[in-house]
Structure 1
Amino acid sequence: MPDDAVELPFGDGTLAVSLPDCEVDVAVPAGGEPVDPRTAAETALDDPHGPPIDAMVDAGDDVALVVTDVTRATPDEALVAAMLDRLPVDRDRVTIVLGLGLHRPMTDAEIRSGLGEFADLAENHDPDAAVEVGAVDGVPVRVNPAVADADAVLATGMVEPHQYAGFSGGAKTVVVGAGAEPLIRHTHGPAMLAEPGVRLGRVDDNPFREFLDRAGDVAGPDFCVNVTHGPAGILGAAAGEPRAVVRDLADTARAALSVEVTGEYDAVLGGVAAPKDANLYQTSRAATYVILGAKNPLRSGGRVVLPARLPEGAGDGRGERRFYDRLSTGASAADVFETMREGYEPGAQRAFVLARALRDHEVWITNSEHPAVVEECLMHAADTPADAIAPGSRVLVVPDALGTLLV
């Protein structure tokens, strides 16, 4: 690797990028010390926010445990094991629901990889089969039948920066992951996303997060175990009442992931680690995190460059297909944005937010398996980052673009 090269995540490995004719700065968060997920979960369960897990579940209860899907690198097997060890119920009374939202179903191999010995308890969530359990502000709250029928609802989760919720995790795993289109349509619609408090890294006074939490009061979870991560790996766990868990881990994440940025850059070169690099829907989050985050480091006309494999192209889920349809049929980013301000289907919000960013900045995806799909979606494709960044540019490299808060 050349002395001036930087390493970015790429697929199952890394990609060395050299920009010898550019002025390069690298945004590296403080990170924190990694912990063993199972040990951290056990410690969190020993000192939860609120009542302990075994006080939430009786021996004869049916339990629904909602876990994250393949789009989040959550150590679900370790978290599930830690929770089930504390439960006074037989294994056959537990159903694990894979919180897909509107993403594609997980394959058998992905389920085994994510849940190990608990894979036989798991079922893919079908949003069309969800049943109504109540409402928030007139919006129906519908969830997976196993969740609706359960005596106790538990969840795992990853508390990481999220464009709308501030940080993911908490009730979101259940009400979105195991939810249905009415709630997703409301929370991800143009009116909600236009609220000033709906922003990356913000939990307090965030209408999106507040709505999810209130929906969680209706549907669950009653108790969750979440983790957060940084460049070094899992940084901590928290257990108990979902609101408190999210706030606890959001504080840990902010301290580990924030980087102060000064000046303006011609380009931001961002790394997108697996599994987010699987498709364009997920990878494009990195661009909007940079452009629409707390501090946009780009000068007027600057660009975001993201190496990503994209083995699934635009993506195979319902939301991913709607994302592709909106962008690929739009005349321009401005046209897509203005059209979608009138409303759109759940899942298409990624196109709306990306179009908002693309009005001011180009996004380039390099090294992908589907450059034609990139171009169809109003972005630019190139073979390498060096092909997308002009010599003499001032470049900010963000090796973990989805896990770094630029402030």
Structure 2
Amino acid sequence: MEFKIKYFKDYVPFHVDDSHHPVELNPKQCPAVESEAAEVRRALAHPIGTPRLSEIVKPGEKVVIVASDVTRPAPSWVMVPCVVEELEKAGVKDEDITVVFGLGSHRKQTEEEKKRLVGEEIYSRIRCIDSDPEQCVHMGTCKNGTSVDIFKTVAEADRRILTGNVEYHYFAGYSGGMKAIMPGVSSHDAIQSNHKNMIRPGAYAGHLEGNPVREDIEEVYHFCPVDFIVNVALDDHKKIAFAAAGDRIQAHREACRFLDSIYKIKIDKPADVVIVSTGGYPKDINLYQAQKSIDNAKHAVKEGGIMVVSASCKEGYGSTVFGDWIQKYDTPDDRIKAIHEHFELGGHKSAALALVQKKCSIYLVTDMDDAMVTKANMTPFHDLQQAVDAALDKMGKDASVYVIPVGGSTLPMEE
């Protein structure tokens, strides 16, 4: 059987013999909405689990809208103006509204980036600022010891509204919901404490109940209450396909269900060989970005199997800390042990990669230097067909095969 998957900006063909009964795993077709703004307004007009936002907020109250930073695909320029419209209906004045971009552990943004995120009109009318992990108020401590340290402007607001997009997250289960608060507007120490839970059982993509990272995130509500959320699910073109608004849990879960209906693919059992592409540029620009597809695809490969990853990684490891951890530690076990002993953002992705490598071998088809690939405990290839043939030879003539063309947005899961 013939296949084509993306490698950087091109499609690369390869062949798998029909005797292996290869199965391609693709997301379902995502329904288009007539208008992104109309979809958000529909959600605002029919909130889940709360009254309308215009019935919650009162004139004179200080209102904060938390929005995603420039590293996220959330279309804040659609969501934030719609939220402001609702606030206007409640009689809230522009001077009582602040848009806070949740940076988490990311860099500060330029004024031009802030303007682009919310649109020129909102930027000219309403105060728009970055969160600052150094300017936090201590509001409590979660039961597992995570300190609830929240950016001062958010902590001191009368009303808190969260916006964001819902997608699979490799240890929080999904993005969205209370994740805009933790880690979005939290201190570095709080973020590190929360993220340490990633190596505990239950912390994986598409999983919420019993996920220690997500449970920690949602416990923050009891110290820093949130009045309303607007979450959207995006199609393959990063356009809004569905919006849910209202209660921080109920609306978030509705958006997660929509995401699952499109991107969660049920499989009968894991395969011996899984061939996965990130979907190409920019998701395969470096190994740090490609790791998400590797983590999603791990659910489709059996213990002791082989994952063939098509990822250019022209920019190498893609993160200084991530690269340092790969260079410093020799084995997956070493990296997992190290993250237990001293959690470090960036290093956590090397540990996540190591956890996949405990399950299966990874053959990386890449532009990266062979020595860099080998140091990351993967087998380097520069030809996709050669990597596929090598994997099938190793796993034998009866090896089962899955092909995942868009690993970044496909989550295979057993029934």
TM-score (norm 1): 0.84
1:142 offset after TM fit, Å? 1.2
Alpha carbons of structure 1 residues 55 and 135: separation in structure 2 relative to 1, 3 Å: farther
Any stretches of 5+ residues in structure 1 without a counterpart?
none
Please list, as runs of the form range in 1=range in 2, the aligned pairs for 1:8-407 lying within 5 A after superposition.
8=6, 10=8, 14-20=9-15, 24-35=22-33, 36-49=35-48, 50-88=50-88, 89-117=92-120, 118-119=122-123, 121-137=127-143, 138-189=145-196, 192-231=197-236, 233-261=239-267, 262=269, 264-272=271-279, 276-277=283-284, 279-291=286-298, 295-298=299-302, 300-308=304-312, 314-315=317-318, 320-364=319-363, 366=365, 377-379=376-378, 382-383=381-382, 385-386=384-385, 388-390=387-389, 393=392, 395-407=401-413
Alpha carbons of structure 1 residues 149 and 278: separation in structure 2 relative to 1, 3 Å: farther
Native 8 Å contact 2:301 2:360 kept in 1: no
Give the letter aligned to residue 84 of structure 1. V
SS of 2:292's partner is helix
1:373 offset after TM fit, Å? 6.0
Give the letter aligned to residue 99 of structure 2. I
1:47 offset after TM fit, Å? 0.7
User: How many Å separate the matches in 1 of 2:152 and 2:373?
Assistant: 37
Native 8 Å contact 2:7 2:310 kept in 1: no
1:370 offset after TM fit, Å? 8.1
Native 8 Å contact 1:22 1:392 kept in 2: no
Q: Which has the larger radius of gyration?
A: 2
User: How many Å separate the matches in 2 of 1:272 and 1:28?
Assistant: 11
How far does the alpha carbon of each residue in 1:108-152 deviate from its partner, in whole angstroms, 9 at most, with x for none? 554444332244643333323333223222432112222122222
1:356 offset after TM fit, Å? 1.4
1:285 offset after TM fit, Å? 1.7
1:301 offset after TM fit, Å? 4.1
More deviation, 150-159/23-32: 23-32
SS of 1:328's partner is helix
SS of 1:236's partner is strand
User: How many Å separate the matches in 1 of 2:312 and 2:38?
Assistant: 33
Any stretches of 5+ residues in structure 2 without a counterpart?
393-399
User: How many Å separate the matches in 2 of 1:185 and 1:22?
Assistant: 46
User: How many Å separate the matches in 2 of 1:74 and 1:341?
Assistant: 32
More deviation, 218-227/376-385: 376-385
1:299 offset after TM fit, Å? 6.1
Native 8 Å contact 1:181 1:346 kept in 2: no
Alpha carbons of structure 1 residues 9 and 217: separation in structure 2 relative to 1, 3 Å: farther
Count of equivalent residues: 392
User: How many Å separate the matches in 2 of 1:380 and 1:391?
Assistant: 11
TM-score (norm 2): 0.83
Native 8 Å contact 1:169 1:246 kept in 2: yes
1:40 offset after TM fit, Å? 1.3
User: How many Å separate the matches in 1 of 2:71 and 2:146?
Assistant: 26
User: How many Å separate the matches in 2 of 1:203 and 1:86?
Assistant: 30
Native 8 Å contact 1:9 1:399 kept in 2: no
How far does the alpha carbon of each residue in 1:254-296 deviate from its partner, in whole angstroms, 9 at most, with x for none? 12112233462423222246665454333212112221xxx33
SS of 2:249's partner is helix
User: How many Å separate the matches in 2 of 1:353 and 1:166?
Assistant: 14
User: How many Å separate the matches in 1 of 2:373 and 2:106?
Assistant: 19
1:170 offset after TM fit, Å? 0.2
Native 8 Å contact 2:287 2:313 kept in 1: no
Give the letter aligned to residue 118 of structure 2. L
User: How many Å separate the matches in 2 of 1:282 and 1:337?
Assistant: 19
User: How many Å separate the matches in 2 of 1:314 and 1:142?
Assistant: 31
Native 8 Å contact 2:61 2:159 kept in 1: yes
1:56 offset after TM fit, Å? 3.0
User: Aligned Cα RMSD in Å?
Assistant: 3.0
Alpha carbons of structure 1 residues 238 and 345: separation in structure 2 relative to 1, 3 Å: same
SS of 2:181's partner is helix
SS of 1:19's partner is strand
Alpha carbons of structure 1 residues 201 and 116: separation in structure 2 relative to 1, 3 Å: same
Alpha carbons of structure 1 residues 21 and 204: separation in structure 2 relative to 1, 3 Å: closer
User: How many Å separate the matches in 2 of 1:298 and 1:237?
Assistant: 35
Native 8 Å contact 1:166 1:199 kept in 2: yes
User: How many Å separate the matches in 1 of 2:187 and 2:193?
Assistant: 11
1:362 offset after TM fit, Å? 3.8
1:321 offset after TM fit, Å? 3.8
Native 8 Å contact 2:312 2:365 kept in 1: yes
More deviation, 251-260/388-397: 388-397
Native 8 Å contact 1:303 1:362 kept in 2: yes
Alpha carbons of structure 1 residues 76 and 356: separation in structure 2 relative to 1, 3 Å: same
User: How many Å separate the matches in 2 of 1:288 and 1:216?
Assistant: 28
